Amino acid sequence: MLEFETVAAGVLAGDLMVKCSPIALLRCGTIHPGRFLILVGGSVASTEEAFAVGAQTGESKRALTGSIFLGDVHPMLHDAVLGVRRGLVGDALGVVETRSSPALLGAIDAAVKSTPVVLSEVRLGDDLGGHALALVSGNLTDTETALAICAERAGDQLLARSLLPRIDADLRSLLDKGTRFGDCGAFEPSGAEYPEEVACSWDV
């Protein structure tokens, strides 16, 4: 993955990368705040060659704000960046936010390779002001260890992390569907108290 400060540099880098090596251009496009993100994959050799060209060529090199090369990406991370979601497992939830998408990929890849947590969701840049987000779940010890690995790997690119030792069942059911506010359906938590006129809206 490569992240560029300008769209023009990112589009140029993407063109150079796919022309130099037989790779799959998995995802690319603009993210906040006006940056360009490229995700490619393929054999280790072809991906490494394309990565080097994208990161080191002229305007691309000057505009590069972050990058990560994963020679043996974990299957859960591969699936997650392509939009596959997994339900939360265990009692504990870990939330990781980084300042850039490449930083998150490196941190999460290390965490899921070292601990038996489940990677439930990955969001890269979109609607996050350029930040990146991941949810991991499992038992408390494994989830806590995964968060510590993420923090160490991300370094100064770590924005925040949270550990929920016993996640609320209602919150779990919502997060299983995703973290986007716009995708969250109306939900009545058990035992909730609210005015009658608000209660009516849950039935709409």
The CA radius of gyration of the chain, in Å to the nearest whole number, is 19
Distance (Å, rounded) from C-alpha 6 to C-alpha 36? 6
Name the 3-class secondary structure at 135.
strand
Q: Where in the chain is the domain with CATH 3.30.70.1710?
A: 2-67, 86-176
| Region 86-176: CATH code | 3.30.70.1710
Residue 102 identity (one-letter amino acid):
P
Assign domain 2-67 one CATH number from 3.30.70.1710, 3.30.1360.70, 3.65.10.10, 3.40.50.11720: 3.30.70.1710
Burial class of residue 38 (count of CB atoms within 10 Å of its CB; 0-12, 13-18, 19+)? buried
pLDDT in tens, 166-203: 999 989 988 988 898 877 766 666 666 655 555 444 45
pLDDT in tens, 115-147: 999 999 999 987 888 999 999 999 999 999 999
